[in-house]
Chains A and B, each alone.
Chain A
């Protein structure tokens, strides 16, 4: 372990931690509102550690969606991480296998973006730096979840204080964050239409899988957009 690198990582991750903190607290509060205990919420933040998909998880759980479908949706929302881990592979080749496992566990969006940027600029991506950057985000994320969950317990009627609109707006923000991607508009349009229709004709929770499948199929069938894609995978803001 190199102390200077570790400290440099801590400094780099600090602003990310600050900007993610409200979302950690929001997750905690909404998780409790959706039937999680405080311990469940903290456990999920500590083990899944992927804000957007955690929100999706509690939303679907709260709507009594079948467990396998919840897990599948979490997997789908996190799918972008496949591109991240493929992309940073070249920078962390020198990590030991244990270090790699830990590194991939901590691979949230900003961690990916900073690792990539550091590698591109020719700076060494040491395990000490990576760990410092990751842990200064990881532990406060858990702590903020706890604070939010404790606060959430005190809330009687979430609708009266407007908590119920926060999840759809949060998801709307996530959808918007993908708007630079190829085929964004047709995919969103068909998924929106299909999910609304499926909600009406088939019912919840099937609108999620049916609507998503329609958008994914359309993306695969549309003729490819002529754009050269090179270099690192684009980063979307998680929170």
Chain B
């Protein structure tokens, strides 16, 4: 196996261990301490939305007109409907823009 591919395997294993740590960690935490400090809890609570936003906003701003338009359409759908429908409608939108409009 070439070293680059080996690095990817290590990366996946590390990601798996990190994930397992989150799934086991709460159990360990709750059996050790009774209460999490409120500010720490607020910070932890914000982690997923904060991380995921950094993957959305730059794509919207720098991704080009077609991507931004598709994301806007998907956003409108996402306020009411499932993620699967967002993907479907967003995909249709970008295909229309790329192959029909432009």
**Footprint of B on A, CB under 8 Å?**
19, 22-23, 26, 36-37, 40, 43-44, 47-50, 52-54, 56-57, 59, 61, 67, 70-89, 100-101, 104-105, 107, 159-162, 164-178, 181-184, 187-188, 191-196, 199, 204, 207-208, 210-220, 222, 224, 236-237, 239
Question: Residue-by-residue, is B41-71 near A (CB-CB < 8 Å gives 1, otherwise 0)?
Answer: 0111111111111111111111100110011
Contact B55 A171 (CB under 8 A): yes
Closest to B28 in A: A85
Contact A78 B53 (CB under 8 A): no
Sort chain B's interface into a size bin. 35 or more
Residues in A whose Cβ lies below 8 Å from that of B79? 176
Residues in A whose Cβ lies below 8 Å from that of B59? 167-168, 171
Contact A195 B57 (CB under 8 A): yes
Q: B58 to nearest A CB, angstroms?
A: 5
Interface of B is mostly: helix
Interface of A is mostly: helix
Q: B38 to nearest A CB, angstroms?
A: 6
Contact B63 A81 (CB under 8 A): no
Q: A50, A70, A72, A172 — which one has the most chain B CB atoms within 10 A of its CB?
A: A172
Contact A79 B56 (CB under 8 A): no
Contact A219 B23 (CB under 8 A): no
Contact B10 A67 (CB under 8 A): yes
Complex alpha-carbon distance, A22 and B75, angstroms: 20
Residues in A whose Cβ lies below 8 Å from that of B58? 195-196, 199, 204, 207
Contact B46 A40 (CB under 8 A): no
The 4 A-B residue pairs with the shortest CB-CB distance in the complex, in nearest-first order? A215-B50, A86-B26, A219-B46, A85-B26
Complex alpha-carbon distance, A191 and B9, angstroms: 31
Q: A211 and B53 in contact (CB under 8 A), knowing A74-B18, A74-B19, A220-B40?
A: yes
Q: A191 and B49 in contact (CB under 8 A), knowing A59-B55, A81-B19?
A: yes
Q: A51 to nearest B CB, angstroms?
A: 10
Interface residues of B in 73-102 (CB under 8 A from A): 74-75, 78-79, 82-84, 86-87, 90-91, 94-95, 98
Contact B22 A82 (CB under 8 A): yes
Q: A195 and B54 in contact (CB under 8 A), knowing A75-B21, A173-B83?
A: yes
Q: A213 to nearest B CB, angstroms?
A: 8
Contact B50 A191 (CB under 8 A): yes
Complex alpha-carbon distance, A23 and B83, angstroms: 10
Contact A36 B42 (CB under 8 A): no
Residues in A whose Cβ lies below 8 Å from that of B24? 85, 101, 104
